């Protein structure tokens, strides 16, 4: 069986990170969402995979190439502009043989373990179309809503306007016949009509996923997805090619990759992740649910708390990065603080593309786009978004002499 993975969505609400990468290339727990999906597909025995790429699609193609490094055969389909799921599906039509079934995957979903093993088991049981469904986290109005009668799906509302409808939502994983391509055309590329045909005429069964699941839509979802993955770790894994000074404290499931250096006095409290070729300076505190991407440098006395750093970042000495996400090649000056709560201790709202969106979280730091430069001594308010390539000058009390 082959698979079709959709990564062409613009991800407009995943600011500032979607400005420089597809959503599926967002990093959690040391790897991108897409890498995790591809690994799960391979584990389920699916190695022939077509990937629909859109804006910044070159990031996907340059990272995975033909897929041989992962034991996969990858091909790519280009989708120009935000044309939606139906258009993405139709563009991949030539990649599949008529009268066969294939796995359809939304590329911006994270699960705590491999959902495709269960999905294929359900398909082998019913020998009919299968839709993965799950119980969502709030807010439920973000996801396609599903109604069940036993394991049979009786109704799907792709984009519900009213929250709190059925208990289950689409999880973004399907086994579908190649007739789907004709159905999409006949429905005028209206996925609601396609789903209606599936439920009322063809028949589709549910594969109910009861483990962890997150649809990464907003920047704070990156932190939740990172936690979801790390909560599955049970033991420490320290590469023999990492260099740890004698006075380094390791607590819990800590992962340190090859080529990294951890200096004396550092405390790594798991679950946490240190990628390849990182430098963690003296007396650095890496607290639970922190992920440090490859090639990053963390200076003396820095505290990292529940944060995701994508990679090749530099964090200056005596800084605090908490409940935050930091993009690639970000330069953070010494003594920078990310404030992660308001004085009234209320949930923090962010300005997402001109609209105020309530995160529902009382602890939330900053979201810093790729290649941003933040000067020394700055304090970022809770819920701050720093755009890619932004420059924030040093915060000084004495101006530089001219």
The pLDDT of residue 146 is 85
Mean pLDDT of the residues in the chain:
93
The residue ranges of the chain whose pLDDT is under 50 are 140-141
pLDDT in tens, 160-186: 555 555 578 999 999 999 999 999 999
Angle between helices 115-126 and 33-43 (to 10 degrees): 40
The pLDDT of residue 140 is 44
| Model pTM score | 0.94
3-class SS string, 303-348 = EEECCEEEECCEECCCCEEECCEEEECCEECCCCEECCCCCCCCCC
| Closest to 134 measured CA to CA, from 39, 221, 209, 231 | 209
- CA separation for the pair 312, 319 (Å, rounded): 17
Instruction: Please state the φ and ψ torsions of residue 341, each to the nearest 5 degrees.
Output: -160, 160
Alpha helices in 136-238 (DSSP H): 180-186, 191-197, 219-230
CB contact at 8 A, 74 and 66? yes
pLDDT in tens, 128-166: 999 999 987 655 445 567 888 888 998 887 665 555 555
The pLDDT of residue 166 is 57
| Closest to 333 measured CA to CA, from 367, 401, 379, 385 | 379
- CA separation for the pair 286, 50 (Å, rounded): 38
**178 φ/ψ sector (left φ>0, alpha ψ -120 to 50, else beta):** alpha
The pLDDT of residue 160 is 59
Domains and CATH numbers, the chain: 2-230 (3.90.550.10), 237-392 (2.160.10.10)
Secondary element (H or E) of residue 36: helix 33-43
Tokens for 321, please give them.
């990065």
| Closest to 223 measured CA to CA, from 237, 386, 231 | 231
């Amino acid at each position: 069986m082959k698979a079709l993975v959709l990564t062409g969505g613009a991800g407009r609400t995943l600011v500032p990170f979607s400005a420089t990468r597809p959503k599926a290339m967002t990093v959690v727990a040391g790897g991108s969402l897409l890498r995790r999906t591809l690994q799960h597909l391979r584990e389920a025995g699916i190695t022939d995979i077509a990937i629909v790429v859109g804006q910044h699609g070159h990031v996907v193609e340059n990272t995975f190439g033909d897929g041989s490094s992962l034991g996969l055969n990858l091909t790519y389909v280009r989708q120009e502009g935000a044309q939606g799921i139906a258009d993405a599906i139709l563009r991949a039509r030539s990649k599949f043989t008529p009268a066969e079934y294939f796995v359809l995957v939304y590329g911006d979903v994270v699960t705590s373990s491999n959902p495709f093993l269960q999905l294929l088991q359900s398909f082998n049981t019913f020998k009919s179309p299968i839709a993965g469904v799950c119980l969502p986290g709030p807010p439920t109005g973000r996801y396609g809503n599903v109604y069940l009668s036993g394991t049979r799906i009786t109704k799907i509302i792709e984009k519900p306007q009213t929250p709190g409808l059925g208990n289950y939502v689409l999880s973004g994983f399907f086994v579908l016949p190649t007739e789907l391509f004709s159905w999409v055309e006949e429905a005028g590329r209206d996925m609601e009509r396609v789903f209606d045909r599936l439920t009322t005429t063809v028949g589709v069964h549910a594969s109910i996923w009861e483990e962890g699941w997150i649809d990464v839509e907003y920047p704070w979802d990156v932190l939740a997805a990172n936690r979801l993955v790390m909560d599955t770790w049970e033991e420490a894994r320290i590469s023999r090619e990492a260099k740890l000074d004698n006075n380094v404290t390791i607590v819990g499931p800590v992962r340190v990759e090859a080529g990294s250096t951890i200096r004396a006095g550092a405390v790594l409290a798991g679950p946490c992740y240190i990628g390849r070729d990182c430098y963690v300076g003296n007396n650095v505190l890496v607290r639970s649910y922190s992920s440090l991407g490859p090639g990053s440098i963390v200076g003396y006395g820095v505290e990292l708390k529940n944060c995701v750093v994508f990679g090749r970042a530099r964090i200056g000495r005596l800084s605090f990065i908490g409940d935050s996400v930091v993009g690639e090649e970000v330069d953070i000056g010494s003594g920078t603080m990310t404030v992660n709560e308001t004085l009234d201790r209320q949930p923090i709202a962010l300005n997402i593309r001109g609209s105020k969106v309530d995160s529902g979280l009382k602890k939330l730091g900053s979201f810093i786009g790729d290649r941003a430069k933040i000067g020394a001594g700055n304090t970022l308010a809770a819920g701050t978004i720093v755009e890619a390539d932004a420059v924030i000058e040093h915060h000084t009390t004495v101006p530089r002499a001219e």
